Amino acid sequence: MMKKVLVAGTALMLAGSLAAQAEAGVNISGDARVTYIGKQDYQRTADSANGYDDFFESRVGLNFEGKGAADKVTAKARLYFDGYGFEDDAPWDGQKSRTDLSVDYAYLTAPLGDWTIKAGRINPDYSRFFSWNIRPTRLVANYKQGNVDITPFVGVRAEGNTATDKWNDNDYMEYGLVTGFKLENGWNLKVYGRYDDDQREWAAATTDVSVSGVDAAGNVGTLMLFDVPTDPVRNKDKSGFLGDVFLNNEGANCDFGFHAEFAYKAADVQGTEDDGMGGYVMLSKAVSSQFTPAVLAGMTKDGYVADNDFGFVMVGGDTSTQVLKVGDGGDLLFGAFVANYKVSERLTLTGNLLYADFDNDDAGQLDNAIEVSGVAGYALNESASLTYKAGYLTPSIVDGSGAAEDAYFAHYLRLNVAF
C-alpha cells in the first residue's frame, strides 16, 4: 500500500503547489497532418499476397501548457481529436463522424529543492533502440549537478483486475533509475536500469458464450454473450530486470559521429524462454557540409525486439510502411548503410540499404531480407512540411513451406502543419 501512498501523496502536493500560484497562464499550440499511404503485398497467405492497398489518414493534436505566476510549476497535456492511440494511424472511414478524444500525455512538473518532480502520464524518451515514444504513468524525480543527471522513477504498469488482487492491492509496478554522465572528452554515457514487479496472482479470464433457445412460435434463436467472466487462472509472472547502456559523442566536436548501445531484458518480462539482448554500433562522417554517410551494424538475440521507433522505412522506423520491428522474426544480425544529403535549406534526402540475416532453420521462417528505401523532406515554410517515404523489402524464406516471397513495397506522402 505504501507505493500508492507515495505516488498519490506527491501528486497531491504538486497539485497544491499549482493551485497556490495566484496568476495562471495557459499556452496552446498543436499540429495537424494528413497522409496518403500505399502498400503492396503486405497481407499474404501461404502462397500468395494481396496486391496494392491504399488509404488516407489524418489527425489534429493540441498541446496545453499551464504555468503558475512564477513559472515554476507547470501542467502539460496533449489531446488528439480521434479515438486512436498516439502511435496509430487515424484512417479515413467514409462519412463516419469521429468524435472521440485520446490523451497522448498529461502530467505536472514542479521544483522540490534541487530536484524536479514529474507526476502523471509522462513521455520519457530514453533511446530509440530501447525505449522511445512511450506514455507510462509514473512519478519521476530528476537531479542535475554539473556533468551528472540522475532520474529515479516509480510507475504503475497495470492495476490488478481480479477481485482477489484488488483486495490485496496486487499490482504490476516498475521501479527504475536513469543516470547520465558527461565524460571528460565530451562524450555522453547513459545507463538505464528497471525492475518490473508483477505482484498479480490471478489473470482475469473470459470466454464467449452462445445460448440457443426456441420461442413459443417455434422459432430457433441464438444469443451471443461476449467476454463472460470464467474461473480465473494463475497470472504468468512478468517480473524481471531490464537494462541498457548508451554511449554517443554528440556535442563532443569529433571528426566522426559515434553511437553504441547494448540492451538486456529478462525472459519473464519478454515472455520468452531465455533472457533477451541486443545492441548496435553506428559510425558517421560529415564528408561535406551537405553529405553525411553512416554505417551501422547490430544484433538481437533470444527474443529481444528493439523499440518500434528504431530502424528504417520497412524494418523498424515507426511509420505506416513498417513490415516488422528490428528483432521480429528471430535472432538477427544486421548491417546498414545510410546516406544523408542536404540539398538545400528546405530539402533533405536520406537513402537506406539494409541487410538482415536471421538465425532460422524451420520452414516458412525468415532466412534473410534486404531493404532499399528513401526519405525526402521538404520545408514549405517555417510551420509546414512535406515528407515522402518509399521502401522495397525482399524477404527470403527458409525452404519447405511454400510461403510467398513476394517483395513488399510501400510509400507515403505526408503534409504536416504546426501552429
At 208, give phi and psi (nearest 5°).
Answer: -95, 130
Asked if the model's pLDDT at residue 149 lies above 70, the reply is yes
Q: Report how far apart, in Å, the C-alpha atoms of 265 and of each of 176, 270, 277 are.
A: 14, 7, 6
Q: Which residues contact 112 (CB under 8 A, 6 or more apart)?
A: 141
290-333: pLDDT as tens digits: 999 999 999 999 999 999 999 999 999 988 999 999 999 999 99
Residue 97 burial (C-beta neighbours within 10 Å; 0-12, 13-18, 19+)? exposed
**Tens digits of per-residue pLDDT, 169-227?**
889 999 999 999 999 889 999 999 999 999 998 887 667 777 777 777 777 777 776 66
pLDDT of residue 375: 98
Q: Which of 256, 254, 340 is nearest to 290 (CA)?
A: 340
pLDDT at 61 over 60: yes
Q: Which of 81-90, 154-163, 237-246, 401-410 is predicted most confidently?
A: 237-246
pLDDT band at 93 (very low <50, low <70, confident <90, very high): confident
Q: How many Å apart are CA 218 and CA 237, to the nearest integer? A: 50
Query: Is the predicted pLDDT of residue 12 greater than 70, yes or no?
Result: no
Residue 402 scores a pLDDT above 70:
no
Quick check: 20 pLDDT over 60?
no
pLDDT digits (tens, 9 = 90+) for 323-366: 999 999 999 999 999 999 999 999 999 999 999 999 998 888 89
Contacts from 44-52 at CB under 8 Å and sequence distance 24+? 44/403, 44/404, 44/406, 45/404, 46/364, 46/401, 46/402, 46/403, 46/404, 47/402, 47/403, 47/404, 48/404, 48/406, 49/404, 49/406
Residue whose grid cell is 533477451: 276
Looking at the chain, the whole-number percentage of residues with pLDDT higher than 90 is 67
> What is the share, in percent, of the chain residues with pLDDT greater than 70?
89
pLDDT in tens, 359-397: 998 888 899 999 999 999 999 999 999 999 999 999 998
pLDDT for position 71? 65
pLDDT confidence of residue 244: 98
Report the predicted TM-score, pTM, of the whole model to 2 decimal places.
0.85
What does R_g of the chain's alpha carbons equal in angstroms? 25
Higher pLDDT, 405 or 335: 335
- Average model confidence (pLDDT) across the chain: 89
* pLDDT for the residue numbered 49: 83
